[in-house]
Structure 1
């Protein structure tokens, strides 16, 4: 991996939003059912918000900027899913109130047979 994607990911981690931080606090350190998540991870030509490599699960948080980049997001999602990953997308607004429904959806995606 070149240093540019890693540098970009490092910058994103250093300047995470309040919403990203809120979800990260719930995921980090295997707090969610022992699942190992990483944040701002370079993957293919992209940087994904949160990745659980073991479950091939990606969580993306969509703020207002995603309203303007719908076609790009669709192309990006298709390319990543073609590599066998599942992507869950949440709007920032979903993480400002009760976090439990979001965490439950993540758990269901990580353990579809539970």
Structure 2
């Protein structure tokens, strides 16, 4: 039986409430299963929080702003942990969302479709 580990739901609520403008913009495209998969915002994944998480397909979407430029080693460790745990990590910059949100959404939709195909095939 899996050991129960309490999730830091208060921290997740705070992160959702304090979402960046680009997180809010992308959420408009991901919410309501608009891409054919349910995404949640600021979800605990192991010792980390995913900006956006599709539990069913194990897809994590991360948006990188200025703070990520200051700690690339942390992001690399985090991505490695998530990949080792079976998650596909899609990482975009705030500038990607600002200037090319349609391309970001298309990349996420392609990942959703690929995961669905892999699971049904």
Q: Secondary structure at the match of 1:99?
A: helix
Deviation at residue 108 of structure 1 after TM alignment: 1.2
Instruction: Select the residue among 97, 113, 116 that pairs with 1:111.
Output: 113
Instruction: Select the residue among 20, 24, 28 that pairs with 1:25.
Output: 28
Deviation at residue 2 of structure 1 after TM alignment: 2.5
C-alpha distance in 1 between matches for 2:101 and 2:47: 30
C-alpha distance in 2 between matches for 1:19 and 1:8: 19
TM-score, with length taken from structure 1: 0.92
Matched with 1:82 is 84
- Which runs of no fewer than 5 residues in structure 2 stay unpaired? none
Instruction: Select the residue among 15, 19, 26 that pairs with 2:18.
Output: 15
Matched with 2:53 is 51
Task: Please tell me the root mean square deviation across aligned C-alpha atoms, in Å.
Answer: 1.5
- Which runs of no fewer than 5 residues in structure 1 stay unpaired? none
* Alignment deviations for residues 20-56 of structure 1 (CA, whole Å, 9 cap, x no partner): 0000011101112x21000000110011100011111
* Structure number with bigger Rg: 2
Matched with 2:66 is 64
Question: Paired residues, what number?
Answer: 112
TM-score, with length taken from structure 2: 0.87
After superposing on structure 2, the runs of 4+ consecutive aligned residues of structure 1 that deviate more than 3 Å are none
Matched with 1:36 is 38
